[in-house]
Amino acid sequence: MPLKTGDEYVASIEALDLEANVLGEPSRGLAGHALVRPSLRAVAVTYDCAHDNEVGALFRVHSPLTGEQVNRFTHLHQSAADLVDKVLMQRHCGNRTGCCFQRCVGLDAANAVYSVTYECDRALGTGYHRRFRDYWAWVQREDLVVAGAMTDPKGDRGRRPSEQADPDLYLRVVDRQPDGVVVRGAKFHQTGMLNSHEIIVMPTLALRPGEEDWAVCFALPVDAPGVHYVLGRQASDTRKLEGDPVDVGNPTFGGQEVLTVFDDVFVPAERVFLDGEVDWSGPLVERFAAYHRQSYGGCKVGVGDVLIGATALIAEMNGVARASHVRDKLVEMIHLNETLFACGVACSARGLPTAAGNYLVDLLLANVCKLNVTRFPYEMARLATDVAGGLLGTLPAARELDDPEVGPYVRKYLAAAGGWDPLQRMKVLRLIENLVAGAGAVAYLIESMHGAGSPMAQRIMIGRQGDVAAKVELARKLLGIPPNNHS
């Protein structure tokens, strides 16, 4: 039965017992580590929802690959409706966790690799697609979490991989053996690596002839020999170590970002999905990015809903819920959030089948979606900060409430409108702080900027997909201007 529960998932990760460096220390038992545990809880929600009475139907879907019901987080989209459902599912997970739930990257990678390997095989006679189908059918049956790894360190960004002082600054094949390849390099910004079972590694840019060693795509178990992890720091991360969930802001869930190093790691041939076919690196990057840019039209919207809710709640606690400017700011937040959602839905509803049969989002609209995500959450955070008030930056620690001397003062002077308890007010303020200037801001603001590619990457795609020439044609026709033969 391919639909694990959240508990089963957590147990499966605990069993892996990965090692990683955390705050300068080699650490084990990560699944229970206060800095990592919240990220497992967030992923567990994606499992539990498939068993949920209310929303389960959205999370369960028939897989033509296995002939069984699978979790939609492992699904190869079979229709535009599937693409829309993906966005709805992501919004729901954002609603439940208030953070990045870290299971989309693998889903987006799989859908990209699926169609690109098909087309590569058709063009070049390679055999990657069958390999990938087999691999992914196993992932679906086991209901695994697959992290996706794309971003290379890049060193001097003004130079191609081979021009870098160190060629490893882009991950590459350093040895080709009969039964597999050996790779070296690193991937930055791995969201949710330490709570995954598998990794899919993809190139980070469109490669050119002569850059074959960097044109490699493959999968590995997270505990493959030679793979090393270093946990990234987040703002206010160590509040999770202090033992008081109130000051953490999001008391249960959280994200996780990891630097992953591949130090001459062997990848068996059956897990290699591209090796040297430089022409297919571009489409792979482009499609993965498009799927992932669509994702943000769901997940960030889901977190945005939580931020709107928290803002409305603090307005009530502050006694300003009925002020016209406060209502107007909430309307603006909803408007911005729903615009993002509209973009997520639209690029999905306009999706089309690939040659391989799974569905791809509309590339132009998916990039438009993400470019808006690099803007609107920032304005929403600004509006939330406005409504929440200065306590966002000056609130004492929750444990002051227990201090025999100052506790009564803090309680007395944090008195809220409507009889709300000061502790509840603290909780709401800390949740908003978490999202606008704390650990949650890593996913809600910084990742909204750079995840799935920085804004300039979207602008380049929009320029390419926007078909300016056709628009010039419209103007020319309307004006009766013949094409210019001279230009």
Q: Which residues inside 114-153 make contact with a second copy, applying CB under 8 A? A: 151, 153
Q: Which residue stretch of 116-124, 172-180, 274-282, 469-477 sits at the interface with a second copy (rule: CB under 8 A)?
A: 469-477
Q: What are the structure tokens assigned to 357, written together? A: 């049969």
Residue 397 carries which DSSP code? P
Of residues 229-248, those binding a second copy (CB under 8 A)? 230-239, 242, 247
Which of 57, 352, 355, 417 binds a second copy (CB under 8 A)? It is 417
Q: How many residues bind a second copy (CB under 8 A)?
A: 158
Active-site annotation holds for 394: no
Residue 82 lies near a second copy (rule: CB under 8 A)? no
Could you tell me which residues are beta bridge partners of residue 201?
149, 218
Question: Whose CA is closest to 47, among 97, 98, 83?
Answer: 97
Task: Rank residues 26 and 210 by Cβ distance to a second copy and give the closer one.
Answer: 26
Q: Which residue stretch of 123-131, 211-219, 274-282, 463-471 sits at the interface with a second copy (rule: CB under 8 A)?
A: 463-471
Active-site annotation holds for 299: yes
Whether the Cβ atoms of residue 203 and residue 185 lie closer than 8 Å to each other: no
Pattern 288-307, binding to a second copy, x per CB under 8 A? -----------------xx-
Residue 316 lies near a second copy (rule: CB under 8 A)? yes
Using CA atoms, how far residue 327 sits from 31, 49, 185, 324, in Å, is 42, 33, 51, 5
Active-site annotation holds for 257: yes
Residue 420 lies near a second copy (rule: CB under 8 A)? yes
Active-site annotation holds for 311: no
Residue 418 lies near a second copy (rule: CB under 8 A)? yes
Residue 180 lies near a second copy (rule: CB under 8 A)? no
Q: How far is the CB of 248 from a second copy (least distance, A)?
A: 11
CA–CA gap between residue 76 and residue 61 (Å, rounded): 10
Residue 486 lies near a second copy (rule: CB under 8 A)? yes
Residue 352 lies near a second copy (rule: CB under 8 A)? no
Active-site annotation holds for 97: no
Q: How far is the CB of 169 from a second copy (least distance, A)?
A: 6
Of residues 436-455, those binding a second copy (CB under 8 A)? 436-438, 441-443, 445-447, 449-451, 454-455
CA–CA gap between residue 232 and residue 234 (Å, rounded): 7
Residue 67 lies near a second copy (rule: CB under 8 A)? no
Whether the Cβ atoms of residue 49 and residue 94 lie closer than 8 Å to each other: no
Active-site annotation holds for 292: yes
Annotated catalytic residue within 296, 311, 347, 359: 296
CA–CA gap between residue 18 and residue 1 (Å, rounded): 26
Residue 270 phi/psi, 5° resolution? -65, -15
- Looking from the CA of 137 toward its CB, the CA atoms found within 13 Å total 11
Active-site annotation holds for 5: no
Q: What are the structure tokens assigned to 445, written together? A: 């603001």
CA–CA gap between residue 33 and residue 37 (Å, rounded): 6
Whether the Cβ atoms of residue 358 and residue 77 lie closer than 8 Å to each other: yes
DSSP string over 106-149: HHHHHHHHHHHHHHHHHHH---HHHHHHHHHHHHHHHT--EEEE
Task: Rank residues 269 and 449 by Cβ distance to a second copy and give the closer one.
Answer: 449
Q: How far is the CB of 29 from a second copy (least distance, A)?
A: 18
**With the C-alpha atoms ordered 90, 300, 83, 206, is the resulting torsion angle positive or negative?**
negative
- Classify burial at 469, counting beta carbons within 10 Å of its beta carbon; exposed 0-12, middle 13-18, buried 19 or more: exposed
Of residues 317-336, those binding a second copy (CB under 8 A)? 318-320, 322-325, 327-328, 330-331, 334-335
Residue 53 lies near a second copy (rule: CB under 8 A)? no
Residues that are catalytic: 100, 104, 191, 257, 292, 296, 299, 447
